[in-house]
């Protein structure tokens, strides 16, 4: 079963998708919009295009685990996407994923404009991979 990962951002939203077995997450790309009226249908279209049967959205918790305005906004976005796309939506703790994504990009020496263009897709991949790994460990 394919799963779509979403790293919801203020200017860009990163997307990643799992393989059919749910073992490996790979970046799909970045949607350059935070306007939900435009963003929701674009992500719903990506769900159809990839054949994803579930969506995992990064939940931006504070470092102490509490939830602020960004987390509430992500949960609201998730509910709207679930209604529009008719697929299950899971919220997944995304603390540290952007730092991890930057670490991966440092390791591969990706800098400048190219880095800015892909860091959100890499963060979505980190979110989704964490979810896939946890799901596999629970079995």
pLDDT-derived band at 16, boundaries 50, 70, 90: very high
Domain residue limits at 22: 3-138
- Could you give the number of structural domains in the chain? 1
Is the pLDDT at 139 greater than 70? The verdict is yes
Question: How much is the pTM?
Answer: 0.87
- Look at the block and give the residue holding tokens 């159809």: 48
CATH of the domain at 37: 3.30.420.140
H or E, element range at 130: helix 112-138
Q: What is the mean pLDDT of residues 113-123?
A: 70
Q: What is the pLDDT of residue 42?
A: 95
Q: Is the pLDDT of residue 103 over 80?
A: no
**DSSP, residue by residue, 31-59:** E----HHHHHHHHHHHHHHHT-SEEEEEE
**Torsional class of 89: left (φ above 0), alpha (ψ -120 to 50), beta (otherwise):** beta
């Amino acid at each position: 079963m394919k799963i779509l990962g979403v790293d919801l951002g203020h200017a860009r939203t990163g997307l990643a998708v799992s393989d059919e077995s749910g073992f490996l997450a790979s970046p799909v790309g970045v949607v350059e919009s935070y306007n939900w009226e435009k963003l929701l249908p674009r992500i719903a279209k990506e769900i159809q295009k990839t054949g994803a049967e579930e969506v995992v959205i990064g939940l931006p918790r504070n470092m102490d685990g509490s939830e602020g305005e960004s987390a509430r906004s992500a949960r609201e976005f998730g509910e709207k996407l679930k209604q529009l796309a008719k697929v299950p939506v899971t919220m997944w703790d995304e603390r540290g994923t952007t730092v991890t994504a930057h670490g991966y990009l440092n390791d591969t020496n990706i800098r400048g404009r190219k880095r800015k263009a892909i860091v959100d897709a890499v963060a979505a991949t980190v979110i989704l991979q964490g979810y896939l790994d946890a799901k596999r460990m629970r079995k």
